[in-house]
Amino acid sequence: GTTLKAAAERSGRYFGMAMGADRLSDSGFQTIARREFDMLTAVNEMKPDATEPNQGQFNFTNGDRLYNWAVQNGMRVRGHTLAWHAQQPRFWGSLSGSALRTAMINHINGVLAHYKGKMFQWDVVNEAFAENGSRRSSNLQATGNDWIEAAFRAARAADPSTGLCYNDYNIENWTYAKTQGVYNMIKDFKSRGVPIDCVGLQTHFTGGSSLPGNFQTTLSSFAALGVDVVLTEVDVTNASASQYQGLTQACMNVPRCLGITTWGVRDSDSWRSSESPLLFDRNSNPKAAYTSVLNAL
Ligand code: XIL
């Protein structure tokens, strides 16, 4: 039979998974990951608190272990993430204003210098919008509304070869205020020449979303602005086979939807493990949702 990656590659797409450094000693995880996936995202190891625990002291130990494992196994890597309100280095918490802005830019420069030319894409900014479609309040937002474009401009200058993505959750439903807020920012960036290449839709589904129609409208609407779209952290409550089928179909119907990543491999790997949201069960067996995804690719 075929595999997720082989099926995705038939249309030039990828099929990815998130992996933590703890799985580098888990042969069961690795057997499935090697067989089925061709893109890796680090679960926590490339976040700001992990890569710059103290100001100006970068630590790429676990990020590099995951990066090297991916490349050795024929996978590409998505970088996640450079600027976020969560999982920040402790020292960011004692900075504000221009000092925090400078620390963010220095962080982006330090991480991208290390991984220059290596990453398929980076989630430059993660989760910067509130549910009502306005900017989420955070210490980074408090440095000025232009913090997001400053991050993207710094990232482009530091590594012109990597795709620069804005990544968020609850932006899958086209009629939702948060989706419209992000859409308007991307539209504004494109109109003013702020460098941005892609939008990452986390796609943490809990159910009830109108698939694939509404979701496909979101993907095609973003794509029409001149950016690629990627599904970056997919998991679905109880791994509904029809929802997995619908989200995969939506991606397949949009030429600029480049690929799909699930946030883990087996249910036991998931941050939502009690909801059994992934494509493989705790015994490493593919679930009904696996077959529905494979058939939709
Ligand atoms: C999660 C990880 O899976 C957890 O291990 C960690 O404790 C918290 O972060 N959106 C994101 C991811 O962009 O980085 C989050 O990952 C899940 C939600």
Centroid of ligand 1 to alpha carbon of 94 (angstroms)? 23
Of 280, 275, 269, residue with least CA distance to 35: 280
- What pLDDT, on a 0 to 100 scale, did the predictor assign at position 123? 99
Burial 255-292 (b: 16+ CB within 10 A, else e): ebbbbbbbbbbbbbbbebeebbbbbbeeeeebbebbeb
**DSSP of 152-166, one letter per residue?**
HHHHHHH-TTSEEEE
- What pLDDT, on a 0 to 100 scale, did the predictor assign at position 160? 98
- What pLDDT, on a 0 to 100 scale, did the predictor assign at position 212? 82
Q: What is the pTM of this model?
A: 0.98
Q: Pick the atom of ligand 1 nearest to 127's CA.
A: 13
- Residues of the chain with confidence (pLDDT) below 70: 208-209
- What pLDDT, on a 0 to 100 scale, did the predictor assign at position 208? 58
- Active-site positions read 127, 233
- What pLDDT, on a 0 to 100 scale, did the predictor assign at position 207? 73
- Pocket (CB within 6 angstroms of ligand 1): 43-44, 126, 202, 233, 271
* Mutation to probe ligand 1, out of 66, 88, 263, 273 (largest number of atoms < 8 A from CB): 263
| 3 state DSSP class of 222 | helix
Please state, in angstroms and rounded to a whole number, the distance separating the CA atoms of residues 65 and 67: 6
Q: Pick the atom of ligand 1 nearest to 169's CA.
A: 10
Please state, in angstroms and rounded to a whole number, the distance separating the CA atoms of residues 36 and 2: 9
Q: Pick the atom of ligand 1 nearest to 204's CA.
A: 18
- What pLDDT, on a 0 to 100 scale, did the predictor assign at position 209? 64
What number is the ipTM of this complex? 0.95
Please state, in angstroms and rounded to a whole number, the distance separating the CA atoms of residues 290 and 183: 31
Centroid of ligand 1 to alpha carbon of 29 (angstroms)? 19
Residue 291 to residues 1, 203, 228: CA-CA distances in angstroms? 11, 19, 26
Centroid of ligand 1 to alpha carbon of 155 (angstroms)? 22
